[in-house]
Amino acid sequence: MKHHYIVSCVLLSACLLTGISAYAQTPEEKGLEIAVASDKRDSGWGSMRANMEMILEDRSGKTSTRKIESRQLEVEGDGDKSLSLFKEPRDVSGTAMLTFTHGLDPDDQWLYLPALKRVKRISSKNQSGPFMGSEFAFEDLGSQEVEKYAYKYLRDESCGDSLECYVSERYPQYENSGYSRQITWIDKAEYRPIRIEFYDRKNSLLKTLEFRAYNEHKGYWRADQFRMENHQTGKKTILNWQDYDFGVNLNARDFNKNALKRLM
Amino acid sequence: MRFKKRSYFYTIVLILICTPAHAAEVLTELGVEVRAYTKPGPPETHNGKLALSLQPEFTQQLEAQNLYLRFEPFFRLDQFDEERNHADIRELKALKVYDNWEIEGGIGQVFWGVAEGNHLVDIINQTDFLEGIDGEDKLGQPLLRFSRIFDQTSLSGFILPGFRERQFLGEESRFALPFPIDSENAQYESDKEDEHVDYALRYSGYAGLIDYGLSWFEGTARNPLFQPSATEPGVIVPFYEQIQRVGLDVQYTVDAWLWKLEAIRQSSELPSFSAYVGGLEYTFYNLHDGAYDLGMLIEHNYDSRGDPLTVFYQNDLFVAARFAFTDADSSAILAGAFIDLDDDSQIFRVEASKRIFGDATISLEAQVFSNTAKTNINSVFRDNDFLKLDLAWYF
């Protein structure tokens, strides 16, 4: 009898506690919960390869194009590894960049300079700097680990093409970010990023990023187009992703300083 | 130019040509160089001239076989200066990758080191001095490389069959040495002369914020000594010693700082010597609302032989600033100076470059020799202040 009483008590308090916590989930907890769910949906892909075309457009509509081959390796318990091989403009063709991301710690980064056949370790401090003269900062294109931000859920809202989204705010926790905060729209059905607004250090709206034309590859959703607009300069950058390949079976050996030298 | 191991080079060319064309990639660089010297040189030289260069690059990746092929010839044609006309195979090689192994054979280029002003540890390739005195251009070296790749390190062994002699500019050339050089009759310490097989080992890797390399080389010195010709009075012949050299290069990368050190110890029949180049680089990012990054660099060079007349960097400081603009045209300005701390001789160099028309680049370079002491090796070049315009097309 006594035994039953204890069990009931435990059960009751457990129910109460769960009930209370569900009821009293703070916006911060809900924001984190959405980020964790989104990260979980997008884990387990192992390695992938894709080609990226980057179109830079200035205020007068003049464009220039870059082409990059991208390879990525998912790393359990740490940030992902990536290799970017530059194809265009032709004068930087053969240049390659190897990045080991580390959540809150600074990334390790090496650059291969084909004219000198030289691999150079570079500083990864320049997170807020523009990537190849584009409206994307290095931090926008880096691996998006959950612990890189603090979160706060704001509201539900319709978004994209008749989707329902969670709207949250997130605050960079890593050093050298160029942003005070970002507002993210994540769709409720598949937990994919649909839109991100970036606010600069003075808390003014700086850029908007839209993810368009999502397709599913082996169970993982990837947008075929990223559109970044800078509201302060009027410049735009469009990333068109092609040839997503999640069946490449790359491993750590394909992401080291030696691999960097043999890319062409 | 001669290559003794012709058969395996031709094999690589054949593979490159015969493999399916759709997988091969070609990138060609066509360069036009216009140069003007501000002071008159020796009678047969010119104060202004034009030169062309062509460097096609053929690459083939056979991913299923983990085989990589590469052919990169280079051609230079100078308006007046015949000694500067030359062709070289910068690379012609095959690279095969097995799990944790890499095997590379052919003609290749290998770079070791971390410093910017002086590549001290780097030794595998002969410097192409016909291209300039900055030492950035290298001749292709016949080589066979075996590498064992570990998680964060790799160990490489090099067999270097055949030696590339240094080429010298002649009387019609600016930047020629002030005495006639008979490089046809170069002398060697080894009786195998330029067929001596050299060896090298390198262990390199990284640990956290530190990248490092330890290297060992045994064979023919890339840097010749000069001695009077036994047959022709007043003529100098290059002499290539046999040397043993150990090298160390380290870079510590933290925040926006790069701390760098390269050091060597070289032994031969001559007294042994040591040399180092060490310094630091700091970059200020996103200045003027993100318009440009400014990198500042200072490196000190030391050589225990100590004589500024025979050694370029016996006690010299290299300081430089690099403005890298964040525009779509990758505009950049690099300004640097070498200052000899013993005799105050100076070399200044400024270079500005940007991309034009989407697939071409333009750059303007000025170099000035200043306050040159007669006892400094720079005095040989003191009348060669120049302005150079380079246009390069990539297709």
| C-alpha to C-alpha distance for B161 and B7, rounded to whole angstroms | 14
Cβ-defined contact of B328 to A116 (cutoff 8 Å): no
Per-residue model confidence (pLDDT) at position B373: 84
Cα B64 → chain centroid:
34
Higher pLDDT among residues B110 and A143, named by residue:
B110
Domain of A172 in residue numbering reads as: 38-262
Which whole number is the average pLDDT over B360-377?
91
Closest residue to B285, CB basis, from A118, A129, A253? A129
Condensed to tens digits (0 to 9), the pLDDT of residues B69-99 reads 999 999 999 988 888 899 999 999 999 999 8
Mean pLDDT, range A127-135, rounded to an integer: 92
pLDDT at A2 over 50: no
Of the candidates A65, A91, A258, which has its C-beta nearest B361's C-beta?
A91
pLDDT in tens, B26-75: 999 999 999 999 988 888 888 888 999 999 999 998 888 889 999 999 99
Task: For residues B113-125, give the mean pLDDT.
Answer: 96
- CATH code, residues B6-394: 2.40.160.100
Per-residue confidence band for B108, with pLDDT thresholds at 50, 70 and 90? very high
**A253/B100 Cβ within 8 A:** yes
Nearest-Cα residue of chain B relative to residue A233? B289
The pLDDT score that the predictor gives to residue B358 is 87
Q: What is the CATH number of the domain that holds A57?
A: 2.50.20.10
Euclidean distance between CA atoms B91 and B118, whole angstroms? 23
Residue at A151 is within a domain: yes
Q: How many domains does chain A have?
A: 1
| Best to test chain A binding among B55, B255, B288, B390 (most A CBs inside 10 Å) | B255
What is the C-alpha to C-alpha distance for residues B368 and B370, in angstroms, rounded to an integer? Answer: 6
Extended strands (E) in chain A: 47-57, 63-73, 81-88, 96-102, 105-113, 118-122, 149-159, 163-172, 179-187, 193-200, 205-217, 220-230, 236-245
> What integer best gives the mean pLDDT of chain B?
91
B344-362 pLDDT, tens digit per residue, is 999 999 999 999 998 999 9
Q: Please, which residues bridge with residue A54 across strands?
A: A66, A239
* Domain presence at residue A250: yes
Q: What is the mean pLDDT of residues B334-351?
A: 94
- Find chain B residues with C-beta within 8 A of A58's C-beta: 328
- With 0-12 / 13-18 / 19 or more C-beta atoms within 10 angstroms meaning exposed / middle / buried, residue A48 is buried
What was the pLDDT predicted at B82? 83
pLDDT tens per residue, range A187-235: 999 999 999 999 999 999 999 999 999 999 999 999 999 999 999 999 9
From the list B222, B221, B261, B228, the residue with the least C-alpha distance to B244 is B221
Q: Name the nearest CA neighbour of A210 among A180, A245, A247, A237.
A: A237
Q: Are B391 and B360 in contact (CB under 8 A)?
A: yes
The full 3-state SS of A127-196, as one line of letters, equals: CCCECCCCCCEHHHHCCCCHHHEEEEEEEEEEECCCEEEEEEEEEECCCCCCEEEEEEEEECCCCCEEEE
Percent of chain B whose predicted confidence (pLDDT) is above 70: 94
Whether B147 and chain A come into contact, CB under 8 Å, resolves to yes
Q: How many of the other CB atoms lie within 10 Å of CB of B55? A: 19
Is A4 within a domain? no
Residue B328 near chain A (CB below 8 Å): yes
Counted across chains A and B, CB pairs separated by less than 8 A come out at: 98
Structure tokens at B164: 């590339």
> According to the model, what pLDDT value does residue B13 have?
62
CA atoms within 13 A on the CB side of A5: 2
Q: Which of A123, A256, A264 sits opposite B255 (nearest CB)?
A: A123
Terminal CA-CA length for chain B:
27
Q: Taking CB atoms and an 8 Å limit, are B59 and A122 in contact across chains?
A: no
- Confidence (pLDDT) at B169: 86
Mark yes or no for CB contact A258/B102 under 8 Å: yes
User: pLDDT grade, residue A23 (50/70/90)?
Assistant: low
Q: Where are the domains of chain B?
A: 6-394
Q: Is B174 a residue whose pLDDT tops 50?
A: yes
* pLDDT attached to residue B230: 87
Q: Is residue A121 part of a domain?
A: yes
ipTM score of the complex? 0.92
Q: What mean pLDDT is reported for chain A?
A: 89
pLDDT tens-digit map of B314-328: 999 999 999 999 988
Digit-coded pLDDT (tens) for A88-115: 999 999 999 999 999 899 999 999 999 9
Task: Tell me whether residues A253 and B136 touch, CB distance under 8 A.
Answer: no
B positions 247-266 inside 8 Å of A (CB): 251, 253, 255-258
User: Where residue A264 falls among pLDDT bands split at 50, 70, 90?
Assistant: low
What is the pLDDT averaged over residues A68-72? Answer: 95
Q: Encode pLDDT of A166-190 as tens digits.
A: 999 999 999 999 999 999 999 999 9
- Take residue A112 and report the two structure tokens written for it: 């291969």
Give the minimum alpha-carbon distance from A76 to chain B in angstroms, rounded to a whole number: 16
Above 50 in pLDDT, residue A1? no
pLDDT at B8 over 70: no
Indicate whether A147 belongs to any domain: yes
Query: Is B286's CB within 8 Å of A126's CB?
Result: yes
Q: What angle do CA A90, A92, A98 make, to 5 degrees?
A: 135
H/E stretch holding B170? none
Say whether residue B291 is in contact with chain A using an 8 A CB cutoff.
no
Decide if A13 is inside a domain: no
pLDDT band at B249, cuts 50/70/90?
Answer: very high
Confidence of residue B14 (pLDDT cuts 50, 70, 90): low
Beta-carbon separation of B70 and A118 below 8 A: no
